Structure 1
Amino acid sequence: MSLTVAALTRGAMTEFEQKLRQQHEESMHAELEALLATAGRAEAEVSRKDFSGFKNLFHRFLQVKGPSVEWAKINRPPEDSIQPYEKIKAKGLPNNITETLNKLVVVKLNGGLGTSMGCKGPKSLISVRNENTFLDLTVQQIEHLNKTYNADVPLVLMNSFNTDEDTKKILQKYSHHRVKIHTFNQSRYPRINKESLLPIATNMGMTGENAEAWYPPGHGDIYASFHNSGLLDNLLAEGREYMFVSNIDNLGATVDLFILHHLICQPADKRCEFIMEVTDKTRADVKGGTLIQYEDHLRLLEIAQVPKAHVDEFKSVTKFKIFNTNNLWISLSAIKRLQERNSMDLEIIVNPKTLDGGLNVIQLETAVGAAIKSFNNAMGVNVPRSRFLPVKTSSDLLLVMSNLYSLDAGSLTMSKKREFLTTPHVKLGSSFTKVQDFLTRFENIPDMLELDHLTVSGDVTFGKNVSLKGTVIIIANHGDRIDIPAGAMLENKIVSGNLRILDH
């Protein structure tokens, strides 16, 4: 008899269910050992460490008894646990910026592919501004810091098995830059058949029928992988104290000297081991994780953990006013302590997938921010929106390529010519999803300094030097085409049908 995912979410376990779970665990262990037997010696050594983490996750998954949070126990965080950025900034800069910076490591989460934007290979290698990729901009930012302050801040990339090879090839081009670059790989976990709760892999290979059998288990894996790689110990031995972690596609996630100074200048007994940068929610961010007080700890609450009856409440911008940017500052010695004690208990995210052949599988994942509850004196800092500038879609790409931003030493800053601090709301249709298609539809990027809202749908192209202001909606119905001519200025316009707009 099979124990399905649905059965795992009920209340207290019967003796029968406990036996059933034990059988599943034993079957899983046997399957993993059989997979390891198909690996070479070096690969088996790495995979054994990976599987150790996976077994722990799978064991905890089998013990699940309903939602990981009880809604009635959720409280707003105490006021002093989320500090406004201005208060942190008021403390000023460190006396010796070089010495302070030399205690820092910058870590970028680089495990993702560019498939959602129609690109092959690592997302970090997509060009986002003036032919610069996410990785180029990151290297430029850190090199600028190192040159300006005569510092030695290293860059660490957490790759996945999907991105490691391509990323390492590219790294050679930075050999003459003033940045030391290290990499380590996050774990490789087996996808599980939703019905049998056993791995779908037949061997350790990554091609053919096994191509879809493996996955990188979310960025919460950073703690174990960083520790297991040996890199954490090496950096501690160099005198590094904190790491600044962010997604590589968040172009707003630059090193902030004020936050770093706040961490370093605390007395040893009160030192904060974990800062999560949060920012105010808008209607576009309603699904973002938020900070709550839960059983005397600051904790990250993700939408996946919210009981269905309370999802609308979670999305409310009045009750939960802030969300997690995934820009995190974390003590390296605290990571080592928690890993050695095996005391980092991250909530499990069960991610269901349907593979190309129609097979239903689940992936067990964790999130890096969920560890906040395990660290001493953890806090949130409410940062300006400018520190959250992710590029997830071609709509985001249009914003960062436009004259809304200027580029300086790898950092994007909002143009002083824009009257509003907020960015326009941009929605591009499916014809723009793939980066290559997107680029062919713009002869150059329109002037967007005075734009509030842009919706484009269907077969639409833009000529050179187009200017968009206020609210602009352009909809070409199926079979129609709209060409916006060079030099056109559209202000508060709705355009539809099948036409070419005449020069204004």
Structure 2
Amino acid sequence: MFGTIDGKIRSHQRSPSDTQAFKERTKRDALADLQTELGNILSTTPEDQKQTIEKQQDGFKKLFERFLEEGGSSLDWDKIQKLPNDAIKDYNDLPDPTESEEIKYLLSRLVVIKLNGGLGTSMGCHGPKSVITVRNGLTFLDLTVQQLENLNKTYGSNVPLVLMNSFNTDDDTQKIIRKYKGIDIEIHTFNQSCYPRINKESLLPIAKHSRINDDMEAWYPPGHGDFYESFRNSGLLKLFLSRGRQYCFISNIDNLGATVDLRILKLLLGPYKTAEIEFLMEVTDKTRADVKGGTLIQYENKLRLLEIAQVPKEHFEDFKSVKTFKYFNTNNLWIKLDGIHRVLRQDALDLDIIVNNKTFENGLNVIQLETAVGAAMKTFNGSCGIHVSRSRFLPVKKTSDLLLVMSNLYILRNGSLNMSPNRMFPTTPLVKLGDNHFSKVKQFLTRFPTIPDILELDHLTVSGDVTFGRNVTLKGTVIIIANQGERIDLPSGTILENKIVSGNLRILDH
């Protein structure tokens, strides 16, 4: 559009301030439209659930507003500072508590919290991941309960177990924990929030009503950073503070190495602690298998967690460097309960937003706004890391992890897995199993009628249509590849040491 001034034709050019005003107006419109849609969803909610839904919507609106302001990560890569010398403590420097009375006192101040919001779908299982059988017919949840029961019996303590469920896992978990009624352990549960997925183009919720079970794909649990507010809203934070509990130990339910550690507890509560630590993150050495794991950095003179989702694309390789970032976050966290109470009361919780993009089968692009529980580190006083051994990090994300924890590499005692003394190396073997034939638990169990002896294994790669016989032994580096249309059946009793097996191999009984 043109106008004439003093006989000259002049175009209307948008000034920088106009651009800024346009962006601000767009943000205001997006937020107003979102509030309208959330109001419509709330109007479909039964009266007895409205208060809960309103609280969750308030949390979501705050997150969405921050997303509009920041557009995701607000991190400036060039401002990352070198970690101070005292930022990470060494576990090996810590003394063991020796007196049983001291241990009983330490445990009386502790609450154990397991993040139990995940499903087992990536491994082909239905229901909560925590009910996948991992060893001797026992599930993740069984092993966790066994660990705490043994701890409480040994020291005459009463450490409670708290499960943070999601709307995906709560119903099944409630049914399962009934079987622990005869076991002397106090179990509490609470649910993390349920947030609506957002259409990437319109920035509006794809949900049209609050009946979550009628449209599960429209909703998501917003990452474990939601722990703090959901824990408070459940009333459990207030309850445990009133009982004199001081610290919570948080870990993922599928990390079988995340057991209660008395040395760490003594560091936090013992008489010789040098300073108040409100937030302690267990970190361990980064290997090539962990390049995507979050790491600790110093930023704006504060210790904080850096996740790969926050890293600018041009710095991905820098982030993955084992030399630059030596440690990664195990997500085993020790946090002071009154610290959580203070941070929430002051509305000081500042969690970096993780924008998780997803595409549905019908081509619809949606975004999930998530946060990580470890990202709260920067809002607590006296935050630090502690360098622990690899044995504290034993997650089961894939069937290759399942192979390790089911094998003779570990000995199961009172719900805890410990590396076999017969293993000559402290590191675990690197195992890669082909996705097409091994990614689902059912497939995996069919192809491994018994788990091979891997005490002397360094590296295993299996690809294609491969089936193992019983009592197979693998040593050194073993690579087994069946090309398309080929099949390899390893006979029972096979011993492979530093071998490459390829082509067709079938030995049949006659």
Asked if the contact 1:36/1:204 (under 8 Å) is kept, the reply is yes
Residue 300 (1) aligns with residue 298 (2): no
Moved more, 274-283 or 457-466: 457-466
Residue 468 (1) aligns with residue 435 (2): no
AA paired with 1:364?
L
2:212 alignment partner, SS class: coil
Kindly tell me: are residues 237 and 483 of structure 1, through their superposed partners in 2, closer, same or farther at Cα, counting changes over 3 Å?
Answer: same
Residue 480 (1) aligns with residue 489 (2): no
Shift of 1:15: 1.1
- 2 CA distance for matches of 1:268 and 1:440? 52
- 1 CA distance for matches of 2:250 and 2:337? 11
AA paired with 1:84?
D
- 1 CA distance for matches of 2:92 and 2:279? 19
CA RMSD, aligned part only?
Answer: 1.9
Moved more, 387-396 or 20-29: 20-29
Shift of 1:11: 13
Aligned counterpart in structure 1 of residue 126 of structure 2, from 120, 136, 150: 120
Q: For 1:318-354, what per-residue CA distance to the aligned partner results, in whole angstroms no more than 9, with x for missing partners?
A: 1110000000000111111111111101000000001
Moved more, 66-75 or 427-436: 66-75
Kindly tell me: are residues 365 and 121 of structure 1, through their superposed partners in 2, closer, same or farther at Cα, counting changes over 3 Å?
Answer: same
- 2 CA distance for matches of 1:379 and 1:447? 39
Kindly tell me: are residues 324 and 68 of structure 1, through their superposed partners in 2, closer, same or farther at Cα, counting changes over 3 Å?
Answer: same
Residue of structure 1 equivalent to 2:202: 196
Kindly tell me: are residues 66 and 206 of structure 1, through their superposed partners in 2, closer, same or farther at Cα, counting changes over 3 Å?
Answer: closer
Asked if the contact 1:94/1:261 (under 8 Å) is kept, the reply is no
2:280 alignment partner, SS class: strand
Residue of structure 2 equivalent to 1:149: 155
Residue of structure 2 equivalent to 1:218: 223
Q: TM-score, normalised by structure 2?
A: 0.94
2:277 alignment partner, SS class: coil
Residue 173 (1) aligns with residue 179 (2): yes
- 1 CA distance for matches of 2:356 and 2:375? 16
Kindly tell me: are residues 151 and 476 of structure 1, through their superposed partners in 2, closer, same or farther at Cα, counting changes over 3 Å?
Answer: same
Shift of 1:206: 2.2
Q: For 1:247-282, what per-residue CA distance to the aligned partner results, in whole angstroms no more than 9, with x for missing partners?
A: 000000000000011101268993100000000111
- 1 CA distance for matches of 2:237 and 2:305? 24
AA paired with 2:237?
L
Residue 25 (1) aligns with residue 31 (2): yes
Residue of structure 2 equivalent to 1:228: 233
- 2 CA distance for matches of 1:481 and 1:313? 40
Asked if the contact 1:274/1:375 (under 8 Å) is kept, the reply is yes
Shift of 1:368: 0.2
Task: Give the % identical residues.
Answer: 63
Moved more, 327-336 or 456-465: 456-465
Aligned counterpart in structure 1 of residue 255 of structure 2, from 247, 250, 260: 250
Instruction: Could you tell me which runs of 5 or more consecutive residues in structure 1 were left unpaired when the two chains were aligned.
Output: 1-9
- 2 CA distance for matches of 1:27 and 1:70? 31
- 2 CA distance for matches of 1:341 and 1:492? 59
Residue 273 (1) aligns with residue 278 (2): yes
Residue of structure 2 equivalent to 1:3: none
Residue of structure 2 equivalent to 1:6: none
Asked if the contact 2:72/2:353 (under 8 Å) is kept, the reply is no
1:380 alignment partner, SS class: strand
Aligned counterpart in structure 2 of residue 135 of structure 1, from 132, 141, 146: 141
- 1 CA distance for matches of 2:97 and 2:184? 29
1:389-428 equivalent positions in 2, closer than 5 A: 389-428=394-433
- 1 CA distance for matches of 2:103 and 2:19? 56
Residue 96 (1) aligns with residue 120 (2): no
Residue 313 (1) aligns with residue 318 (2): yes
- 2 CA distance for matches of 1:486 and 1:441? 12
1:96 alignment partner, SS class: helix
Q: For 1:189-243, what per-residue CA distance to the aligned partner results, in whole angstroms no more than 9, with x for missing partners?
A: 00000000000001011244x2210000000000000001111101111111100
Asked if the contact 1:11/1:66 (under 8 Å) is kept, the reply is no
Residue of structure 1 equivalent to 2:372: 367
Rg larger in structure: 2
Instruction: Give the count of matched residue pairs.
Output: 493
2:81 alignment partner, SS class: coil
Asked if the contact 2:308/2:316 (under 8 Å) is kept, the reply is yes
Aligned counterpart in structure 1 of residue 359 of structure 2, from 350, 354, 360: 354
